[in-house]
Amino acid sequence: MKKEYDFKFGKRGEVVSQKGKTRITIYLDTDIIEEFRKRADVAGYGYQTMINEALRQHLEKTDKPLNEAAIRQVIREELDRASVY
């Protein structure tokens, strides 16, 4: 390693930006998150990706507004559907 590094052109932030994605904070029931994590491990990809896909599928199926009750319903339906596989 060098003794001294030049950071005059350095920028703070993500090393690799996620195009088309936005970081948010959301509170979900612990049992829902645990179940998505288990299923994501089996499927071989991230639980956040799995939740995103479940929400996207719901939005494609309905014109209803997406409120807390709708999100909970979508997650329950997706967990039921995923348990069949």
Residue 26 has pLDDT above 70, yes or no: yes
Q: What is the pLDDT of residue 83?
A: 78
| CB neighbour list of residue 72: distance below 8 Å, 6 or more residues apart | 29, 32
pTM for this model (two decimals): 0.56
Q: Give the pair of three-digit tokens for residue 20.
A: 């088309």
CA atoms of 78 and 8, how far apart (whole Å): 48
- Tens of pLDDT along 34-76? 999 999 999 999 999 999 999 998 888 877 777 888 889 888 9
In this prediction, residues 4-33 reach a mean pLDDT of 84
What is the per-residue DSSP string for 6-60?
A: --TT---S-SS--TT---------HHHHHHHHHHHHHHTS-HHHHHHHHHHHHHH
